Structure formats: structure tokens, C-alpha cells
């Protein structure tokens, strides 16, 4: 077992976290390039068994990411959206595993909107600890590892303008980010409880990143999500000082298998927030 692989499954030193993050960044940029080739040509859409859409861009991006992760970190389990939909999954995830959504926001992508992303995360002991979220259409890139979150732009395949980001202190009115494609009555009810709230509608895991970068305060999600939808953005948010809690006030955990009332890796409803939000206010 390599030194880097050992560090993933035990207490990871900062340099090892940096090495993992560098690999994530490289693979996300490569996947984003493949996605944009499809975006700028003809998009072919088919339906998966659960009726959700998938395109050739989803599959091409996932292939790039999985091949890269398995070459760099042999033996670390991967939970990837398209493989999982086809029943390909490791029987035992262990204490650490990768979570991949090669194209988060496929509906936005098909409509040729700009806020779809590539998501790659490392989950360790049920918590998302390292993650990247890349929006290839706009070049926005967010990265997080324990104790540090960054935002930058990708220009011609190169990172530029790196800056450290943090969730912001409280201000009025609070800004809530909500899903453009999945706004539910429960979410609307929650929003109405927040007086004078400013609402920003955005797709994909960029919602977590707007909180992490201090551009918004709350992200309530009272609709279905899967772990690959949330892990990378949640990792960035937690690295920036934010939190994600389920409706009972507990942190959202990852690696959920054999759930009595839902599928493997399905998330319960949750609320993500900056560090200054009192949980009693949300729940």
C-alpha cells in the first residue's frame, strides 16, 4: 500500500491532503474539458432507470475521473453516479472513499445553462473532508480541505487568482440559495419563515460554494438528493467554516447504505449554513 493511500485510511497529514486535492483539481479540469466539447456540439440525452437524464458528457467525464483516481489511489473505493446507477459499487467502502458526480446539473447542461459542475470528494469517517467543485462553462473553481477553502478561475486550463474563502458573518437580509429545478413546497415554507430574505436561484452544487465564499447564508434542501450531489460542495463549505445539518440538527453523514426507507446514498432533507446561523433558528 502506498504512503498516500495509507494516509487516506488513517490520520492524513496536510501534505497528503494537498496531494489528493491536486489530483482532484487536475481530473476536474480534464473532465470539464470533455464536458465542454459536448456542450459546444450535439447533446444526446437518454433516461436512466430512475428517469433522470444522462448524456455522453456525463459518461465521458466520469470515465476520466475514475481512471485517474484508480491510477493514483489504487484500492480506494469510488462511489460514482453513473457506475452506481448501473449497479457497480464496492461491497465495503471502509473508512474512506471517493464520491464523484461527473456532471452535476445535467438538466441545466441540456438546456445549455451555465451552472452545472464537476464534483469530486473524499469522505473520511462519514464526513466530506476534501472536495472540488468546478463549473467549466464559467471557469469558477472551488476547492476545500480541512481548515482551508479556496476559490479561483480556470483560464485556458490553468488556475488563476487563488484566494482563500470563508463563510460570512451575519447580515440582514439573509440570502438564501435555492434549487432552480427542484424548489419544493417545504422549501418555500422554510423561506417564508426567514423575514426579508433575499433569494438566489442557482443549479448544482454551486449553492454550497456561494455559502462558502460568503455570497449567501443559507441553503435549505427539502427535496431528494444523493451523496454525489452534495459531498464535494459540502466539503468546500465545511472547510470554509460552514455546516450542513439534517432536520434533527445532526451533521449530514456520508456512506449511507441499507437504509430502511430509501436507496443507498440517498440524503435526508438538510439545511446548509454559514457558521453564524443558530441551529435553533433553522429547526
Cβ atoms within 10 A of the Cβ of 61, count?
27
Query: Which residue pairs from 85-88 have beta carbons closer than 8 angstroms and sit at least 24 positions apart in sequence?
Result: 85/48, 85/49, 85/50, 85/54
Residues in the chain: 283
Cβ atoms within 10 A of the Cβ of 195, count?
8
Cell of 254: 456520508
The answer to whether the CB of 176 falls within 8 A of the CB of 196 is no
How far apart are alpha carbons 15 and 38 in whole angstroms? 35
Listing DSSP states for 173-221 in one string gives S-EEEE-SS---HHHHHHHHHSTT-EEEE--TTHHHHHHHTTS-SEEEE
Listing DSSP states for 6-28 in one string gives HHHHSPPPHHHHHHHHHHHHHHH
Closest residue by Cα to residue 144 from 66, 206, 212, 97: 212
Is 237 marked within a binding site? no
Is 82 marked within a binding site? no
Is 188 marked within a binding site? no
Is 103 marked within a binding site? yes
Q: Write out the H or E segment, with its range, that includes residue 55.
A: strand 53-55
Local structure of residue 226 (DSSP, 8 states): B
Q: What are phi and psi of 81, to 5 degrees?
A: -55, -50
Is 217 marked within a binding site? no
Is 81 marked within a binding site? yes
Cell of 126: 462519514
Is 114 marked within a binding site? no
* Binding site feature residues: 81, 101, 103-106, 229
> Residues forming the annotated binding site for Mg(2+)?
81, 101, 103-104, 229
Give the residue numbers of the binding site for substrate: 81, 103-106, 229
Amino acid at each position: 500500500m502506498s504512503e498516500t493511500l495509507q494516509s487516506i485510511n488513517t490520520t492524513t497529514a496536510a501534505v497528503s491532503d494537498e496531494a489528493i486535492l491536486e489530483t482532484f483539481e487536475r481530473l476536474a479540469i480534464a473532465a470539464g474539458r470533455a464536458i465542454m466539447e459536448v456542450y459546444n456540439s450535439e447533446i444526446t440525452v437518454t433516461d436512466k432507470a430512475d428517469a433522470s437524464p444522462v448524456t455522453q458528457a456525463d459518461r465521458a467525464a466520469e470515465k476520466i475521473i475514475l481512471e485517474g483516481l484508480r491510477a493514483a489511489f489504487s484500492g480506494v473505493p469510488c462511489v460514482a453516479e453513473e457506475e452506481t446507477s448501473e449497479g457497480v459499487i464496492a461491497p465495503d467502502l471502509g473508512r474512506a472513499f471517493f464520491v464523484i458526480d461527473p456532471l452535476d446539473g445535467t438538466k441545466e447542461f441540456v438546456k445549455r445553462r451555465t451552472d452545472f459542475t464537476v464534483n469530486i470528494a473524499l469522505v473520511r469517517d462519514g464526513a466530506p473532508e476534501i472536495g472540488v467543485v468546478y463549473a467549466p462553462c464559467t471557469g469558477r473553481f472551488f476547492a476545500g480541505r480541512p481548515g482551508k477553502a479556496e476559490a479561483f478561475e480556470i483560464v485556458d486550463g490553468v488556475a488563476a487568482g487563488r484566494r482563500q474563502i470563508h463563510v460570512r458573518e451575519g447580515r440582514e437580509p439573509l440570502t438564501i440559495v435555492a434549487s432552480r429545478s427542484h424548489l419544493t413546497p417545504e422549501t418555500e415554507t422554510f423561506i417564508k419563515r426567514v423575514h426579508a430574505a433575499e433569494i438566489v436561484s442557482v443549479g448544482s452544487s454551486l449553492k454550497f460554494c456561494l455559502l462558502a465564499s460568503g455570497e449567501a447564508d443559507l441553503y435549505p434542501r427539502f427535496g431528494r438528493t444523493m451523496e454525489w450531489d452534495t459531498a464535494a460542495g459540502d466539503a468546500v463549505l465545511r472547510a470554509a467554516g460552514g455546516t450542513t445539518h439534517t432536520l434533527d440538527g445532526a451533521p449530514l453523514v456520508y456512506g449511507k447504505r441499507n437504509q430502511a426507507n430509501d436507496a443507498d446514498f440517498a440524503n435526508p432533507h438538510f439545511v446548509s449554513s454559514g457558521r453564524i446561523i443558530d441551529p435553533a433558528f433553522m429547526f
